[in-house]
Amino acid sequence: MDSTTALFANAIVAGLLLGGFYAAMSVGVSISFGMLDVVNIAHPAFILLGSYIAYTMNDRLGLDPIAVSVVLSPLFFVLGAGLYRVYYLCFEQRGQESLRGLAFFFGILFITEVMLVLVFGVDYRMSKTAYADTTWRLDALDFPMRLVVPFLVSMLMVVGLQLFLSHTFFGRAVLAVAQDPLALRLMGVNPIRVKERAFALSIATAGVAGAFLIVIQPVQPAIGREYIGLVFAVCVLGGMGSIWGTLLGAFVLGLAESFTSTFFGPSWAPAVSFGLLLATLAFRPAGLLGR
Amino acid sequence: MANSIRIDGLCAGYGSVQVLERISLSVNDGETVALLGTNGNGKSTLMKCVMGIVPPGAGRIEAVIDGVPYDLVGRATEEIVGLGIALVPEGRRLFPRLSVEENLQLGAYRRAARAALARNLAFCFEAFPKLIERRKQLAGSLSGGEQQMLTLARALMTAPKILLIDEPSVGLSPLLVIHTIDKIRELKQRYGLTVLMAEQNFNQAIRIADRGYVIVHGRIEFEGRSRDDLSNNELVHKLYMGL
């Protein structure tokens, strides 16, 4: 392999691995925002919370961050269910979800961030894992383990969610609930319970994505905000309410960022991502795989 | 086993607007009862009261399902559906961005219906062959007639004992109305359903109704004890035929 080809091939590998990570961060928003019409802009805050819990367990007890996050995901599920209850009682039930609901989640985002600053400070934290410094080499291709492990777990999680949502009665109810809650009641389904559980599921994915984040890069409390744009961009690009779309959108953005960083420099990467988003909105507003 | 509905002294409204005033009616086991009335007389509100969507101000709504009596007032809609009462709502209320098949599968959400899913789905496709052709298509892209068929089929997927149908003829061409009414009769016979149908198309409704009530400004103005009784009534002539 000559050096240009190697550079090109490595950009593809890095882009796909990055895309897998983006999919894990965005799949929760794809559920809450894309399927439930709950504009949870606090999603990155829960990702960060997941990062710090994984970090604490890793730092104090030497446990693997990703394993910890998977084991503790029921905790995030319960947290999500509680949060949706509050949101429902205070805003959705009264038909005030649009603006006040948005302000509510904005508040949650900042409160979580300030809480993390108070507890952990503003320094960057990093986890220590056995595989973080290992890189597989296949010919000229690099497979850094700190990206490969999150990628694999992310694929399991995203594909598992897609199968769950498309093959179960509950999953179909999740797809239907924002379209017509009353019609869902007429099928004998309680739409509030469906939304509560689906939202809880979305927060559970945030906890796991948080562990990926701290395995991949150092974390400090304010970086959650940097990802708000990214996760919503992935969802819109892929198509609202489609998990396959979110996966595709994540790969497209991952590849775009990887190529831009490789050939034009990292500072251009966000411009290309959001350029892609604008182009999608202009030419295919339903997203790549939107219904 | 017997399935019936009895409504007694039902009053309901929206805010200060009183829509239903002391309505009393009954639907006996295996009957098709028509609730006749022009727009704005309270037919839909009555259906919504039975389904727990609009809370009644006063009165009783009782259903007997498989011989067991239930008081419906104060129960949540999904609970009432769970008992075995289904509503084909006005305006169809399909899930437009789900496929025909997904709409039907959602109909079978309740536990009792899941067991019969395969059989009911096969029957729906047999009764409505158009739906099998379009099973992968989004419900929102169907024609009006096809959507009405899908709404009927989806209600049947909940495996009801009592079926409430709110204005099945709305927005359909005359030929499709005839077809829809024929289908309702066919489904009713096949499943041994007890049916309460609100309709303003008198001539079509009376083809399948055993008897009926005429509702005017929220009151039952006439009770027709048989089909003939209804067709020969003066009030019906005045309201529907301008005589």
Length reported for chain B: 243
Using pLDDT thresholds of 50, 70 and 90, give the confidence band for residue A67. Answer: very high
Closest among A239, A266, A227, A244 to A46, alpha carbons compared: A227
User: In chain A, what percentage of residues exceed pLDDT 90?
Assistant: 67
Using pLDDT thresholds of 50, 70 and 90, give the confidence band for residue B171. Answer: confident
pLDDT at A182: 93
Closest among A164, A177, A169 to A204, alpha carbons compared: A164
Same domain? For B178 and B227 the reply is: yes
Task: Give the number of other Cβ atoms within 10 Å of residue A265's Cβ.
Answer: 9
pLDDT at B138: 94
Closest among B195, B154, B203 to B177, alpha carbons compared: B203
Same domain? For B48 and B133 the reply is: no
Using pLDDT thresholds of 50, 70 and 90, give the confidence band for residue A61. Answer: very high
Give dist(CA A95, CA B85) in Å, integer.
Answer: 29
User: In chain B, what percentage of residues exceed pLDDT 70?
Assistant: 98
Would you say residue B235 has pLDDT above 80? no
| Structural domain boundaries enclosing B99 | 94-156
Answer with the one of B156, B171, B191 that is the final residue of a domain: B156
Q: Nearest by CB to A188, from B81, B97, B102: name it.
A: B81
Would you say residue A39 has pLDDT above 60? yes
Work out how many domains chain B is built from and give that number: 2
> What is the rounded average pLDDT of the residues A24-39?
94
| Binding-site residues on chain B for chain A (CB distance < 8 A) | 51, 53, 76-78, 81-82, 86-87, 89, 93-98, 102, 105-110, 113-114, 138, 154-155, 158
> What is the rounded average pLDDT of the residues B121-135?
89
Q: Are A176 and A184 in contact (CB under 8 A)?
A: yes
Give dist(CA A30, CA A291) in Å, integer.
Answer: 13
> What is the rounded average pLDDT of the residues A170-181?
93
Q: Could A189 and B78 be called an inter-chain contact, meaning their C-beta atoms sit closer than 8 Å? A: yes
Give tens-digit pLDDT for A141-162. Answer: 889 999 999 999 999 999 999 9
Give dist(CA A69, CA A112) in Å, integer.
Answer: 18
Q: Which of A165, A169, A186, A193 to mutate to test the interface with B (most CBs of B within 10 A)?
A: A186
Same domain? For B71 and B164 the reply is: yes
Same domain? For B70 and B166 the reply is: yes
The per-residue pLDDT of chain A, averaged, comes to 91
Q: Could A188 and B82 be called an inter-chain contact, meaning their C-beta atoms sit closer than 8 Å? A: yes
Shortest CA gap A95–chain B (Å): 17
Tell me the Ramachandran region of residue B23: left when phi exceeds 0, alpha when psi lies from -120 to 50, beta otherwise: beta
- Domain spans, chain A: 3-223
Would you say residue B153 has pLDDT above 70? yes
Contacts of B106 in chain A (CB under 8 A): 169, 172-173, 176, 184, 187, 189
Residue bearing tokens 């775009």: A256
Shortest CA gap A172–chain B (Å): 7
Q: Nearest by CB to A187, from B76, B81, B138: name it.
A: B81
| Binding-site residues on chain A for chain B (CB distance < 8 A) | 169, 172-173, 175-176, 179-180, 182-190, 241, 291
Residue bearing tokens 């005030």: A96
Shortest CA gap A183–chain B (Å): 6
- Asked whether residue B50 is assigned to any structural domain, the reply reads yes
Give tens-digit pLDDT for B99-115. Answer: 999 999 999 998 888 88
Query: Which long-range contacts (C-beta less than 8 Å, at least 24 apart) are formed by B149-153?
Result: B149/B180, B149/B183, B150/B92, B150/B94, B150/B100, B150/B103, B150/B104, B151/B88, B151/B89, B151/B92, B151/B93, B151/B94, B152/B88, B152/B128, B152/B180, B152/B183, B152/B184, B152/B187, B153/B104, B153/B107, B153/B124, B153/B127, B153/B128
Give tens-digit pLDDT for B19-49. Answer: 999 999 999 999 999 999 888 889 999 999 9
Give tens-digit pLDDT for A95-107. Answer: 877 788 899 999 9
Answer with the one of B105, B133, B156 that is the final residue of a domain: B156
Shortest CA gap B156–chain A (Å): 10
Would you say residue A70 has pLDDT above 90? yes
Shortest CA gap B220–chain A (Å): 26
> What is the rounded average pLDDT of the residues A42-51?
95
Give tens-digit pLDDT for A228-244. Answer: 888 888 998 988 889 99
> What is the rounded average pLDDT of the residues B167-191?
88
CA B146 to chain centre: 17
Using pLDDT thresholds of 50, 70 and 90, give the confidence band for residue A2. Answer: confident
pLDDT at B1: 65
Of A68-72, B146-150, B183-187, which has the strongest mean pLDDT?
Answer: A68-72
Looking at residue B128, what DSSP letter applies?
A: -
pLDDT at B243: 54
ipTM for this prediction: 0.90
Q: Nearest by CB to A173, from B89, B106, B158: name it.
A: B106
Same domain? For B56 and B173 the reply is: yes
CB pairs under 8 A between A and B: 73
Give dist(CA A51, CA A108) in Å, integer.
Answer: 17
Same domain? For B77 and B100 the reply is: no
- Asked whether residue B89 is assigned to any structural domain, the reply reads no
Task: Give the number of other Cβ atoms within 10 Å of residue B76's Cβ.
Answer: 13
Structure-block tokens of residue A124: 């960057």
Give dist(CA A199, CA A15) in Å, integer.
Answer: 29
